[in-house]
Amino acid sequence: MRCIHQLRLALIFALSLAASSARAEVSVGGRHIYVMFPGIDALWGSYLFVVNNSGTAPERHVFPIMLPGETIDFQGQENVAPDELKLGEGGKLTIDKAFPPGESMVNIGFKVPAEQGVAKLTLTPLFPVEALSIFVWENTFDVGGPNLQERKGVPFSGRNYDTYTLSNAKVGEPFTAEVGRVPEGRGRLMIVGYFLIAALLLGGFLIAFLSRPHLSQAEDLA
């Protein structure tokens, strides 16, 4: 009887080990892509990455989202519902989602502002990543930043892109890229207009002051 009891305990222990070893693992892929599109005094972007669930059933996973620090708007797109994005303390964005078995593409849209034709993208890796890549339409933008590997005319989703990649970014270390030649609205024209109006007013005041009539000494004495 004692032997049977010991055998049952051994089987339960073995099954528990098998269950733990077969437990699904959800992981975020090492490649992160930021596809940028032109706006007026702004850039629109799509943040793309892959999440892998090695199990056979949906598994919940919570992790931070690496949107640019300058982001002023965002929205879940492919495979992301609005209630699966959580905004926490300090404006930190996380995703809380049950991922199906296999690989899932995640797409989050965002917007960053631009000033005088230049937009900044500050990216801070929150976990180990192999590569952070910025994709822009071919010959559309000027992209600059430290340690970026540039490739021209890369086919992606039915169109050619210029790509700029930072490899093996350090966790917690911010990286800033600048995107130039962003279409401008009326902001610069308004600044120039205000300057011209101020210059005209000042010039008119000086002309009026210098051309004012002067009284002669005799008229002053009278």
Of the listed ranges 20-24, 110-114, 194-198, the one predicted with least confidence: 194-198
Q: Which amino acid is at 199?
A: A
**pLDDT reading at 13 higher than 50:** no
In this structure, is the dihedral angle defined by the CA atoms of residues 40, 157, 161 and 150, taken in order, positive or negative? positive
Better-scored residue on pLDDT, 77 or 19: 77
49 near 108, Cβ under 8 Å?
no
DSSP 129: -
What does the pLDDT read at residue 54?
A: 93
pLDDT confidence of residue 124: 94
pLDDT tens digits for range 83-92:
999 987 777 8
pLDDT reported for residue 40: 95
Using CA atoms, how far apart are residues 221 and 200, in angstroms rounded to an integer?
Answer: 37
Check pLDDT > 50 for residue 25. yes
Residues above pLDDT 90, as percent of the chain: 64
The pLDDT of residue 219:
52
Report the range out of 1-15, 23-37, 161-175 with the highest average pLDDT: 161-175
Per-residue model confidence (pLDDT) at position 59: 94
What is the reported pLDDT for 182?
Answer: 97
Is 77:107 a contact under the CB 8 Å cutoff?
yes
b/e per residue, 112-124, with b = 16+ CB within 10 A? Answer: bebeebebbbebb
With contact defined as beta carbons under 8 Å apart, do 158 and 152 qualify? no
The answer to whether residue 66 scores a pLDDT higher than 80 is yes
d(CA 53, CA 61) in angstroms, rounded, equals 10
pTM of the entire predicted model: 0.74
Coil, strand or helix: which one is 219?
helix
Lowest mean pLDDT: which of 41-45, 87-91, 115-119?
87-91
Q: What is the mean pLDDT of residues 20-46?
A: 86
Query: Among 114-128, 133-147, 205-219, which is the least confidently predicted range?
Result: 205-219
Is the model more confident about 17 or about 104? 104
